[in-house]
Structure 1
């Protein structure tokens, strides 16, 4: 996916998020984020949108603290969210392709990083907002889901701060059954090492001994890996799926 596609996704998903939030109401419990009400979700996502935009529009090359959560609620909160979301979409769409600014995961460019990251941030939180309605959230396009799995496995959990660790070397395979995409995740006392591609399940021509495989449609895997849904299918040692569930949370800091 390219920058324009990510920006289009961000635009669509943000509008869907705030529409669901408005329908659910600020007091509604967010089923996929225990302890959060809709107002918490909207405040958080709106804050992230403004924080991300600051790097792109002001060209900061080092980390900046976010601006904090607003004390707004109800209609004022929704209007604040819509304004920040619109500004982020427009800023990413119009930014120079060679803009230089801080980012925190590997990407072809800082702009590509921020467009991708905010598309996925908003997609996952759109699912959260829809879960507050008490209905099954809308799905995620397979190509976006595959990209998001890759960002999570090789990006977020390729960092030293990942808490997904195993006392002994173990191998977890992630297979999207509708997208010809497979990842092999090597677990150890060190940060996970993930590979993607047809050769990811082989090592020097020999098949990798996999301890557990989680598989299913890309959209289901994407949301399961973000701990929004159960894994569609688990084969082998299910304790590795449990390990992921218990240790893979990505927290805001």
Structure 2
């Protein structure tokens, strides 16, 4: 996907998140984020948006902490969120392609990284906001484009879980396969006592396979929905649930 597509997705998803949060109300519980209410979700996502904006707008070339969570609620909180989201979208859209700033996952450029990361961040949290409208997470209609979902799985496996801090590890080497059934996309994840190693394709026999539509797999791997299909050793699916959280 191109940077402009990620920015467009970020724009749409942020607006959808705000609409769902407003409809649910800031007191509503967020089933996909146990212990959170909508106000926590909106404060967190809005803080991340401002944090990301600062790197691109102010050209920080090393890590800088975020501003912290605002002491706002209700209409004021939603206005604050919408303003920060709009500034992030406008900053990314107006930044030069070669902007030099800090980033933390492999990408063609810092701008490409931030557009991609914030599009996925906001999409997952849009789903969280919609879960606060009622019903169980598995009953919510998945509205994630297939190509975007595939990219998000790539980012999760080749980015976040290629880092030393990934806790998805096994004492005995095991192989986890992820298969998107609505597009020709398969990932093989080798698990051991070291960092997970992911490859595209069926490059080894799998001990466990997670399969389903790309959009559902994407949200499942982010621990937002049950896995649509599990075959083989279910303990690896449980391991992912218990150890894959990204902080």
2:43 pairs with 1:52 = no
Measure how far apart 1:137 and its partner are: 4.6
How many residues are aligned here?
Answer: 243
1:102 aligns with 102
1:227 aligns with 223
Q: 1:161 aligns with which of 162, 165, 168?
A: 165
Measure how far apart 1:201 and its partner are: 1.6
Measure how far apart 1:46 and its partner are: 0.1
Contact 1:127 1:137 in 2 (8 A): no
Cα root mean square deviation, aligned:
0.7
Alignment partners' CA distance in 1, 2:141 and 2:119: 17
Contact 2:142 2:215 in 1 (8 A): no
1:182 aligns with 186
Unpaired stretches in structure 2, ≥5 consecutive residues: none
Local SS of the residue matching 2:6 = helix
TM-score normalised by structure 2 residue count: 0.97
C-alpha deviations, 1:6-65, integer Å up to 9, x for none?
000000000000000000001000010000000000000000000000000111111011
Contact 2:13 2:123 in 1 (8 A): yes
2:243 aligns with 247
1:68 aligns with 68
Alignment partners' CA distance in 1, 2:202 and 2:104: 28
Contact 1:7 1:115 in 2 (8 A): yes
TM-score normalised by structure 1 residue count: 0.95
Alignment partners' CA distance in 2, 1:170 and 1:102: 35
Alignment partners' CA distance in 2, 1:41 and 1:15: 14
Measure how far apart 1:149 and its partner are: 0.5
C-alpha deviations, 1:176-230, integer Å up to 9, x for none?
011111100000000100011xxx322xxxxx12100000000000000000001
Local SS of the residue matching 1:18 = helix
Alignment partners' CA distance in 2, 1:139 and 1:16: 11
Contact 1:21 1:130 in 2 (8 A): yes
5 Å matches for 1:74-223? 74-135=74-135, 136-196=140-200, 200-202=201-203, 208-223=204-219
2:34 aligns with 34
Unpaired stretches in structure 1, ≥5 consecutive residues: 203-207
Contact 1:130 1:137 in 2 (8 A): no
Contact 2:142 2:216 in 1 (8 A): no
Alignment partners' CA distance in 1, 2:155 and 2:62: 21
